Amino acid sequence: MKRGRPSKSELRLEKELFTFWKKSSSSTDLTRLHVLTRFGFQERLQLHAQDIESYDTLVAVDWPTYLDNHPITVVPPIHVPSHHPIVVRYVALSWQLPEIANEIEQRYGNGSVRNIVRMYGRDGNPIPSIRLDTSSSSYIVTFLKDNFINIGHGRHAVKEYHLPTRISPPCYNCYEHDHLARHCKNSKRCGRCSQQHEPPARDV
C-alpha cells in the first residue's frame, strides 16, 4: 500500500534537518542529498548522498538529540561505501586486531578506524592482510598517497580494496553465464572452442 503525501509537520521537520545539515557542514549544495524514504516506515527519514563529500558531511555532523521538539536518532549505514576500505598488507597473524585498531586511532585520530577484519585466502586460512574501514574518505586518500600506514614500529604497505568478483557458473550446454543448463534453449556447443559441432569420436 502506497503512503500518501507527508504531513506538514513531517515536511517542517525534514526542512529543519536539511537546514541543520547545511549550517553544520562545509557543503551548501542540497541537491547532493536525496530523500529515499520519509517518515512512514518506523518514523524514519532515509537519506542518500549522491557523492562521497556529501556522505562524509552527513557522518561528520554532530546531530542534535532533539529537533523541533522531536527526538532524533541517527543510524549510520551497516556497510560503508566501497572506497572507504583499504587493505593493509604484511600484518602478522599473531597480532590482535583490537590492539592494531587502538594503535591506528592513537596515531591518526578518531574516525580513522571504523572496523577492522582479518582477510582470508581461497583455502579459508587467514592471510597476513587486514581490511581497514574508516569513517571518512580523507583517511583513505592519505593512506593511499603515502602508500603505507604506520603500525607499531613498522610501515605496512596499503592498497585499494575491491570487492571480490563473482561469476556465475556457465551453462554446460551452451556455456553462457546467464542461465543454467536445465533452462537452456540454445544449441549445444563445444566446451573447448564454443562452436556447434559433434564431439570427436574417442578411441576405444
One domain for residues 94 and 144: yes
Q: What is the pLDDT of residues 77-131, one digit of tens each?
A: 655 555 578 899 999 999 999 999 999 998 888 778 888 999 988 888 999 999 9
Q: Is residue 3 domain-resident?
A: no
One domain for residues 146 and 183: no
Structural domain boundaries, residue 143 = 85-160
Q: Is residue 76 domain-resident?
A: no
Q: Is residue 77 domain-resident?
A: no
**Local structure of 165: helix, strand or coil:** coil
Q: What residue type is 9 in one-letter code?
A: S
Q: What is the pLDDT of residue 58?
A: 72
Q: How far apart are CA 181 and CA 175, in angstroms?
A: 9
One domain for residues 91 and 156: yes
The number of folded domains in the chain is 3
CA angle, 79 then 81 then 85, to 5°: 90
Q: What is the pLDDT of residue 181?
A: 84
CATH number of the domain to which 149 belongs: 3.30.70.330
pLDDT below 50 — which residues of the chain?
1-4, 35-37, 41, 204
